[in-house]
Amino acid sequence: MSASPETTPARPDAPAYDFRTAEPRWQRAWAERACFEAEDVPPQGRPTYYVLEMFPYPSGKIHMGHVRNYTLGDVVARYKRARGFTVLHPMGWDAFGLPAENAARERGIHPATWTFDNIAAMRAELQRMGLSLDWRREFATCQPEYYGQQQKLFLDMLRAGLVERRESWVNWDPVDQTVLANEQVIDGRGWRSGALVEKKLLSQWFLRITRYAPELLAALDGLDRWPERVRVMQAKWIGRSEGARLRFALTDAKLAGQDEVEVYTTRPDTLFGMSFLAVAPEHPLAARLAARDPRAAAFTAECRRMGTSEAVIETAEKRGYDTGLFVAHPFRPQLRCPVWIANFVLMDYGTGAIFGCPAHDQRDLDFARAYGLPVLPVVAAVPADGGQPGGPDDDAAGAIGTRAYDGPGRIVNSEFLDGLTIEDAKRRAISELERLGLGAGVVNWRLRDWGVSRQRYWGCPIPVIHCAACGVVPVPAATLPVVLPADVTFDRPGNPLDHHPTWRHVACPNCGAAARRETDTFDTFVDSSWYFARFCSPHAAEPVACAAVDRWLPVDQYIGGIEHAILHLLYARFFTRAMQATGHLSVEEPFRGLFTQGMVTHESYRDAAGKWLYPEEVERTADGTPRRRADGGAVTVGRVEAMSKSKRNTVDPGAIIDRYGADTARWFILADNPPERDMEWTEAGVAGAYRFTQRLFRLAQGLGGAACPEELPPTIGAAARTLRRATHRCVAAVTEALEGFAFNVAVARLHELANAVGEAERAQGATADAAVDLLWSRHEALRTLALLVAPMMPHLAEEIWHLLDPAAARLAAEMAWPDADPALVAAESVTIAVQVMGRLRGTLEMPPDSPEAIVLAAAAAEPNVARALEGRRVVKRVHVANRIVNFVIAG
RNA sequence: GCCCGCCUGGCGGAACGGCAGACGCAGCGGACUUAAAAUCCGCAGCCCAAAAGGCAUGGGGGUUCGAGUCCCCCGGCGGGCACCA
């Protein structure tokens, strides 16, 4: 683009703002004056504000998503600081995880070396952005100083009964050779590796998050500064439901090896519509049958391989195996229903067994149709006319085709439930089950306990020892941290800790016998579940120092991607409660305010051969046709989508900062659109932002170094008053916009003020004299502009601040937020729209709050309005003060 | 399939139920320049020669003096979850 700074020679009379020297200079000034450092325990009497952006995984380079995230947080931090808050704004590294091990396997670099090299590179890039961070608090989760404290927390939770070791069906990732929590399986694939997941039985460590399910759900209501949709997603994830557990007696206990099957249902009202019972392939009953029936074994084995991704491709693929067993119906003991093993029944939800009511559940219906099972309607839709249900036109009454009916209605064909509503029938059915001793009403949760074991090296060691005699023995607190051994090899799959010659061989702390150290490490979500608390006292000898954490927590404003809406945020909420239960802190909720930003997107490009091209490989001809820069080859412009390495539609923040500076990058990101939406990164947009930085600087230079007159002159001319009003209205508008995260609106208002300053500059030039009132007003406007722009473009703000007053004792970053003078913000006159029958026919300029009679008279007298009213009878006059008049006419 | 968003000029977007399109990007015209770039100024939703007027916030209804905004139906786009009984 022609707007590139390289091709913009500095004009001799107006040297351009040189961000290359200015940005590092101001960054040094902030550091020297410790502008962004906060005390662990800040002094009482001043309000505190904790701003936190989700800390990054140290992949090696920052990407535009980071730039957006940290810019948003920095605006908040700088703004709140100017508003008088003592601000905590830390940064650290989510430094454990698989990519480091992959690098070790692929390139022979030690995970620690790889990680710390990446951290150094990314820290340098973040520092170039000019973020107002307290770098003294920086830590990486892979440092023993951090994860050792995490081990303490774990042992406290173990003591408090919040940890459990149990055998369970888990998702096995064959590529990563590790277990994934159910929440981490996406479409049957590992959320990190993408490998198809298999089911496997393994001993695992679990954190008992389910114990907090009711509280985690109830407390969502209090999170009024969270996005509604995040709360909804969490509520659905926790998944409270009311239903019944009931036991079905098997009619041939000898064959089955057990005499009953327990089922959970949310629809006990449809029990009379039952035509089969189905258990999950992992159900104990299925396992017993498989042990003696080769065909049952073949079916369950097939289900295990299949995972869940099949269902996406083949929606109608309901598979089952008829066990030949039967259960008795609880209300009609003479009725026998067949027992199936079915691939759509989940072992982890409810009891792993269901009763099938095909008429009123789509999955059950699909299954029944596939295997020729009966369909017995028991809910009749109530006709809209309020007549009797089950009339001739009512297809829900008898005729179920391929659509199950799950709407409202009345119960039919169900003996003692007949005629009841669904809700009444549920209650009645449950009380009958209770009377018969066959079941009870229960509340069920979808949320499962959090499996935290990982068979990996690059994670926090789980601090326990397995002793043949004593069982599981916690590592004594005095010997913590359990430090990862550095000398490991990655020449074979699986966990290097298992292959280490000595590390796992230890004496039992209890009996002294030879014992084995736990070689599982924690899920990295554990690391990120309490880092926000550690930031309050990052060097404390305990996990958190109470005095600090109680002063700072909860985080006032947390900012990050929507992709963490469920897992990370839910785990952090759980961890906070668990830390409270173990006496580490006293808050319940970690994040008072949450903001979820949109993604950064970019056009994608392919050459004639279909190969993806990076944006910098593409240029535009004069008529806008894209072509390959190297050889002019044809280029197809693809969709605008999230930046990704595979599509090569990425833009490197480092290159942008080199070329335009950090302020330009920050400004464009804020200006383009509302921060919660996806933004499109465009070259033209950055160039525009760059031009604005130069323009602001030139406006400040336009004062030509003229000192600001000491006092506001007693007489203020029209031009000066116009500018002063623009200045103060801008303060009010920008303040309101920043409070509401409407950064793009703040940018628009700042453009307007810049335009007003430009006009004033010309007005002053036209008078050809130093009109002192105007000069003073321009100083005021530019001073204000510098402070208002400072949260967003901090370096340029300092540069302008310094230019206006080279002797200033304080930096712009140290100044208080400007106050708007209400007298100047108030309108001098208002434009009132005049409508006839709701259609605009004219406008009036009036003093604010003019008496209604005068406004109405003036409105009716407006020529265009008068023409529209001519010969008509006005039946109603609507007057909204300072806004609108609407005449309603007859006919 | 279920749930949640979103839909406004060429583009990003603005708009307590009250003048739709602020501000910017791209565009066009002008000034400056030998010329271009940069810069500065101005124009700009669509129809109509213009005025007047009409049409315009995905489509259709409704509530209201007045709807981009509230309600109902439909369509499209995006996202989340998914055999969750």
Q: How many Å does it take to go from CA A838 to C1' B67? A: 11
Whether the complex's predicted ipTM is more than 0.85 is answered with: yes
pLDDT (0 to 100) of residue A112: 95
Query: For B37, which residue's CA is nearest its C1'?
Result: A2
Mean pLDDT within A18-43: 93
pLDDT confidence of A187, banded at 50, 70, 90? low
Q: Residue A241: which nucleotide is closest by CA–C1'? A: B84
pLDDT (0 to 100) of residue A649: 80
Q: How many Å does it take to go from CA A237 to C1' B81? A: 9
Query: For B26, which residue's CA is nearest its C1'?
Result: A684
pLDDT (0 to 100) of residue A397: 41
Phi and psi at A602, nearest 5°, equal -160, 155
Question: How long, in residues, is chain A?
Answer: 891
Structure-model confidence comparison of residues A144 and A829, the more confident one: A144
Query: For B20, which residue's CA is nearest its C1'?
Result: A840
User: What does the DSSP assignment read for A555-592?
Assistant: BSEEEEEGGGTTHHHHHHHHHHHHHHHTTS-S-S-SBS
Mean pLDDT within A384-404: 49
Mean pLDDT within A474-501: 88
pLDDT (0 to 100) of residue A752: 94
Q: What angle do CA A481, A92, A90 make, to 5 degrees?
A: 120
Q: Residue A624: which nucleotide is closest by CA–C1'? A: B26
Q: How many Å does it take to go from CA A769 to C1' B32? A: 23
Structure-model confidence comparison of residues A50 and A367, the more confident one: A50
Q: Which of A303-307, A646-650, A831-835 has the highest mean pLDDT?
A: A831-835
Q: What angle do CA A713, A714, A720 make, to 5 degrees?
A: 60
Q: Are A29 and A810 in contact (CB under 8 A)?
A: no
Mean pLDDT within A679-708: 87
Q: Residue A843: which nucleotide is closest by CA–C1'? A: B19
Q: How many Å does it take to go from CA A757 to C1' B52? A: 38
Q: How far apart are CA A154 and CA A150, in angstroms?
A: 6
Q: Residue A695: which nucleotide is closest by CA–C1'? A: B39
> Is a pLDDT exceeding 60 seen at residue A398?
no
Q: How many Å does it take to go from CA A697 to C1' B30? A: 26
Q: Residue A671: which nucleotide is closest by CA–C1'? A: B24
Q: Residue A448: which nucleotide is closest by CA–C1'? A: B84
Mean pLDDT within A833-847: 90
Peptide bond into A47 cis (omega under 30): no
Q: What angle do CA A534, A536, A542 make, to 5 degrees?
A: 50
Q: In this structure, which amino acid lies at residue A848? A: P
pLDDT (0 to 100) of residue A9: 39
Q: Residue A698: which nucleotide is closest by CA–C1'? A: B39
Peptide bond into A554 cis (omega under 30): yes
Query: For B22, which residue's CA is nearest its C1'?
Result: A748
- The protein footprint on chain B, as nucleotides within 7 A of a CB, is 1, 3-5, 12-16, 18-20, 22-26, 37-41, 52-54, 65-67, 79-85
Query: For B2, which residue's CA is nearest its C1'?
Result: A236
Q: A303's torsion region: left (phi>0), alpha (psi -120 to 50) or beta?
A: alpha
Q: Residue A565: which nucleotide is closest by CA–C1'? A: B80
Q: How many Å does it take to go from CA A225 to C1' B69? A: 22
Structure-model confidence comparison of residues A486 and A45, the more confident one: A486
Q: How many Å does it take to go from CA A856 to C1' B28? A: 42
Q: How many Å does it take to go from CA A837 to C1' B56? A: 18
For A772-819, write each residue's pLDDT tens digit. Answer: 889 999 999 999 999 999 999 999 999 999 999 998 999 999 999 999
Residues A527-557 as b or e (16 or more Cβ within 10 Å = b):
bbbbbbbbbbbbebeebbbbebbebbbbbbb
Q: Are A244 and A433 in contact (CB under 8 A)?
A: yes
Q: How many Å does it take to go from CA A759 to C1' B42? A: 14
Query: For B25, which residue's CA is nearest its C1'?
Result: A685
Q: How many Å does it take to go from CA A719 to C1' B24? A: 25
Q: How many Å does it take to go from CA A864 to C1' B52? A: 10
Token pair belonging to A45: 């009497």
Q: Residue A308: which nucleotide is closest by CA–C1'? A: B83
pLDDT (0 to 100) of residue A190: 65
Structure-model confidence comparison of residues A701 and A26, the more confident one: A26
Q: Which of A297-311, A373-387, A512-526 has the highest mean pLDDT?
A: A512-526
Q: What is the pTM of this model?
A: 0.90
pLDDT (0 to 100) of residue A170: 67
For A427-477, write each residue's pLDDT tens digit. Answer: 999 999 999 999 999 888 888 888 888 888 999 999 999 999 999 999 999
Q: What angle do CA A134, A139, A143 make, to 5 degrees?
A: 170
Q: Residue A882: which nucleotide is closest by CA–C1'? A: B18
pLDDT (0 to 100) of residue A180: 63
Task: Tell me the pLDDT of chain A averaged across its residues.
Answer: 86
Residues A246-274 as b or e (16 or more Cβ within 10 Å = b):
bbbebbeeebbeeebbebbbebbbbbbbb
Q: How many Å does it take to go from CA A863 to C1' B49? A: 24
Q: How many Å does it take to go from CA A94 to C1' B25? A: 37
Query: For B14, which residue's CA is nearest its C1'?
Result: A745
pLDDT confidence of A623, banded at 50, 70, 90? low
Percent of chain A with pLDDT over 90: 49
Q: Residue A351: which nucleotide is closest by CA–C1'? A: B85
Q: Residue A263: which nucleotide is closest by CA–C1'? A: B85
Q: How many Å does it take to go from CA A734 to C1' B9? A: 26
Q: How many Å does it take to go from CA A504 to C1' B10? A: 67
Q: How many Å does it take to go from CA A673 to C1' B30? A: 32
Q: How many Å does it take to go from CA A834 to C1' B22? A: 21
Q: Residue A887: which nucleotide is closest by CA–C1'? A: B65
Query: For B13, which residue's CA is nearest its C1'?
Result: A673
Q: How far apart are CA A389 and CA A378, in angstroms?
A: 12
A735: Cβ–Cβ under 8 A, 6 or more apart, which residues? Answer: A817, A820
Half-sphere exposure of A719 (CA within 13 A, CB side): 18
For A699-714, write each residue's pLDDT tens digit. Answer: 998 887 777 777 778 8
Q: How far apart are CA A498 and CA A519, in angstroms?
A: 6
Q: Residue A345: which nucleotide is closest by CA–C1'? A: B83
Q: How many Å does it take to go from CA A742 to C1' B45? A: 25
pLDDT (0 to 100) of residue A179: 66
Q: Are A58 and A152 in contact (CB under 8 A)?
A: no
Strand partners, A880: A884
pLDDT (0 to 100) of residue A312: 36
> Is a pLDDT exceeding 70 seen at residue A314?
no
Q: Which of A17-26, A317-326, A349-358 has the highest mean pLDDT?
A: A17-26
Q: How far apart are CA A678 and CA A741, in angstroms?
A: 15
CA dihedral A752, A754, A757, A758 (to 10 degrees): -100
